[in-house]
Structure 1
Amino acid sequence: MPADLAVIGLGHHGLPLAQAATAAGIATVGFDTDPRPVAELAAGRPPVDGSLTASEIRRMLSAGFRATTSPVELGRVRTAVLCAPTPLSPDGTLDLTAVTDAARALAARLRPHTTVLLESPVPPGTTEGVLRELLEAGSGLRAGRDFHLAYSPDRLDPGRFDPHSRLSGLAGTPKVIGGLTSACTESAAAFYGRFTDKVVRARGPREAETVKLLETNFRHVNIALVNEMAVLCHELGVDLWDVIRCAETKPFGFHAFRPGPGVGGHGFPVERLGAHRPLRLVELAGQVNQRMPQYVVQRAATLLNEHGKSARGARILLLGITYKPDLADREGAPADEIAHRLMDLGAAVSFHDPHVPDWRVRDLPVPRADSLYEAAAHADLTILLQHHRVYDLQGLAVKAQLLLDTRGATPAGTAHRL
């Protein structure tokens, strides 16, 4: 059965988009060159990152969604959305390899009048540059004349995404669109309008691409600010969490961010755009945030020392090792570096996370605590890295010998806060 839509790339971004489109009644096929996620989805099993549950996958399949590795399917759709990953390369720029591979696969089967949309984070100029060139060279068609081409930044919030909710689903999140031509923009708007309440038209693809850059860097710069404030306030003996609580009552000119043990997730701060000058503020923010795992370990060693214990040989329990609460996704989570550094100090590290059945650091298995309270009582130090809703922090504070809370989630006075 032909599909209206092909979602190319079935990762943390493409799969929820496919889910939203399917829920809106759009006949959707998911394409990925990796046979593993395709096989898992076809069998009704959820992705390992926990972005969708098994029941949600089953509902997608029953509604007609299909996952495939066959590029032939790409030549049978009216709309194709590229959701390929763009990880950071060693030089700090975005690696576009998966995007260019996806473009070549699509180009070989691109038909006239198809609408092609790119949602992957990319440097400004990619849509009308690299992507356009690959699609035109591989298809013999011309963008803006024979097919529509536009960019729309991904704005999904992992862990809060619900395709049936007007608030946390795609419907309630305005969709920014920048087309190569006005006709391209309107074609993209017509597509997204099928399951999004509001469409915001950017001047062009470069402006839409830069929206994603600004939104991602905004998050990282502001987290860096409160991370620096956390270090300063600890030195001054000031309760930063109370400071933030009071500051966020200001109805204008302030947006609350909170510190943590590091910044995880799929949205990387981009400080360099090829030959262009670096964004110095973003560069500095990255340095601040990258130091937080080391600072957490330093605080842990100091706490142990203040209570007459050494980090060497100490039993340390890490609670929550994912990058976001109530989600299994561990992309960029600071837990790995923190565990690594604690092991370097000679600590015996164990962990508890209701969403992660096993964990390896340095290719060695980290012991998983089955009984949370028993493990906290047995550990010399318990460190809360992620606040999953199942954690009774007041109860943990009573059971734990020492509790370091890096999320400010414990009741005031019950634990040592970051």
Structure 2
Amino acid sequence: MPADLAVIGLGPLGLPLVRAATAAGIATIGYDPDPDTVAELRAGRLPSEDVDGTLTAADVRRMLAAGFRPTTADAELGRVRTAVICVPTRLGEDRALDLTPVGDAARTLAARLRPHTTVLLESAVYPGATEEYLRPLLEAGSGLRAGRDFHLAYSPSRTDPGNRRHHYTTTPKVLGGLTSACTEAAATFYGRICEKVVRARGPREAEAVRVLETNYRHVNIALANEMAVFCHDIGVDMWDVVRCAETKPFGFQAFRPGPGVGGHGVPVDPNYLSYKGRSLGYPLRMVELAQEVNGRMPRYVIQRCATLLNEHGKSARGARVLLLGISYKADIADQEGSPAREIGSRLIELGAQLSYHDPYVAQWRVLGQPVPRADCLYEAASEADLTVLLQHHRTYDLQGLAVKAQLLLDTRGATPAGAAHRL
């Protein structure tokens, strides 16, 4: 049976789109080359814990009941009117964005691409990638021409895992097409799903929206982190500073410090353009500095841990340290880019006896070894020499934990004032 929509990549970007599309009555197939992912979805289960904090197995079953068909068969891609590429892209060690998954998806789609299909890209890419990287692959593999034989547009993903207020359908959808006709074709599709559609001048502008939005948060979090270190050094309560500052009704938006940054929204410096070997010839200094500041926060947390233990007559070597919340964001299981891994690694290297608790993560490995999971939270906190709150899940009773813990370091400013040592 032909479908209206093919979603390529059934992960954190693709499945929220599938849920929104099936809820809108759009016949949808989901393509993923991983047979395990497809098998889990067909069985009505989430393929992994890091998909979306609001997506459940019950949602998957509802999607299947509404006609969603997960598949590894690329032949299905030739039977749809719209195809959306939602594969993940990540930064390499050289800070360049790896577009290999987008290239693989493009080649697979191109072999099945039919005239008049609308092709949309939602993966994180650099400004210019849709035209300079994706378009040639689609045209070479299909023999069709973008803007003439098929529509091509970019729309940045704006999913926020765990956010129950702003989800796929209620978040304005930005899009930019190769031609005006491409833009309108994309707008027609997204208009069936989203409450509001915002047209950019073209794909480059839409791609740059993604860069601006992600780096906006990254830079402001870096400022909050620098302020946290500064305030601690001069004996000022940073959390009280933020509380007071956010009462200003104009010119200020509150960002809070933490042990580091993570998630799928990678901070992109457009100076690193891997797909064409191009360079601006200069870095975006704000992005570069933000990366530096946020990247050193796990080390600062370790420094605070060692100092606290020392002040209480204990050494990091042999100390029992309990980490609370190892996901990158509150109330979800996703560990993508979480600073917990680096913090855990450094504690182990210092000789600490590490354990963890996270209501959403059943197993955790650091440096290739399993980390013991605390079954009884209060008992574990009372036995640990140091308890470190890395992520404030709603299930945590922080006032109770502050009473039970021998020593508590709160990196999220979530405990009552005076109940714990705060970042």
Contact in 2 for aligned 1:50/1:327 (Cα 8 Å): no
Contact in 1 for aligned 2:15/2:51 (Cα 8 Å): no
2:272 corresponds in structure 1 to 273
1:128 corresponds in structure 2 to 131
Show structure 1 runs of 5+ residues with no match. Answer: 162-166
Report the CA distance shift for 1:14/1:231 in structure 2 as closer, same or farther (over 3 A). same
Q: Distance in 1 between matches of 2:323 and 2:176?
A: 44
1:289 counterpart (290, 294, 312): 294
**3-state SS in 2 of match to 1:262:** coil
Contact in 2 for aligned 1:323/1:333 (Cα 8 Å): yes
1:154 aligns with 2:153: no
Contact in 2 for aligned 1:22/1:28 (Cα 8 Å): yes
Contact in 2 for aligned 1:260/1:407 (Cα 8 Å): yes
* Paired residues, number: 413
Q: Distance in 2 between matches of 1:364 and 1:170?
A: 37
Cα deviation code 1:291-314 (max 9, x no counterpart):
000100100110111111111111
C-alpha deviation, 1:50, in angstroms: 4.9
1:164 corresponds in structure 2 to none
Q: Structure 2 matches for 1:3-82, cutoff 5 A? A: 3-48=3-48, 49-51=50-52, 52-82=55-85
1:337 counterpart (336, 342, 345): 342
**One-letter amino acid of the structure 2 residue matched with residue 356 of structure 1:** V
1:346 corresponds in structure 2 to 351
Report the CA distance shift for 1:127/1:63 in structure 2 as closer, same or farther (over 3 A). same
Q: Structure 2 matches for 1:90-169, cutoff 5 A? A: 90-160=93-163, 167-169=165-167
Q: Distance in 1 between matches of 2:263 and 2:415?
A: 23
**One-letter amino acid of the structure 2 residue matched with residue 231 of structure 1:** V
Contact in 1 for aligned 2:51/2:334 (Cα 8 Å): yes
**One-letter amino acid of the structure 2 residue matched with residue 390 of structure 1:** T
Cα deviation code 1:235-269 (max 9, x no counterpart):
01111111111111111111111000010101111
Q: Percent of counterpart pairs with the same letter?
A: 74
1:413 aligns with 2:418: yes
**3-state SS in 1 of match to 2:336:** coil
Runs of 4+ in structure 1 over 6 Å off: none
**One-letter amino acid of the structure 2 residue matched with residue 386 of structure 1:** Q
C-alpha deviation, 1:90, in angstroms: 2.4
Cα deviation code 1:354-394 (max 9, x no counterpart):
11111111111111100000000000110000011110000
Contact in 1 for aligned 2:16/2:168 (Cα 8 Å): no
Normalised to the residue count of structure 1, the TM-score between the two structures is 0.97
1:328 corresponds in structure 2 to 333
Instruction: Quote the RMSD (CA, aligned, Å).
Output: 0.9
Show structure 2 runs of 5+ residues with no match. Answer: 274-278
Cα deviation code 1:174-197 (max 9, x no counterpart):
111100011100110010000111
Q: Distance in 1 between matches of 2:252 and 2:170?
A: 23
C-alpha deviation, 1:149, in angstroms: 0.5
Q: Structure 2 matches for 1:253-264, cutoff 5 A? A: 253-264=251-262
1:312 counterpart (300, 305, 317): 317
2:276 corresponds in structure 1 to none
Normalised to the residue count of structure 2, the TM-score between the two structures is 0.96
Segment of structure 1 superposing worse, 45-54 or 405-414: 45-54
Q: Distance in 1 between matches of 2:195 and 2:56?
A: 25
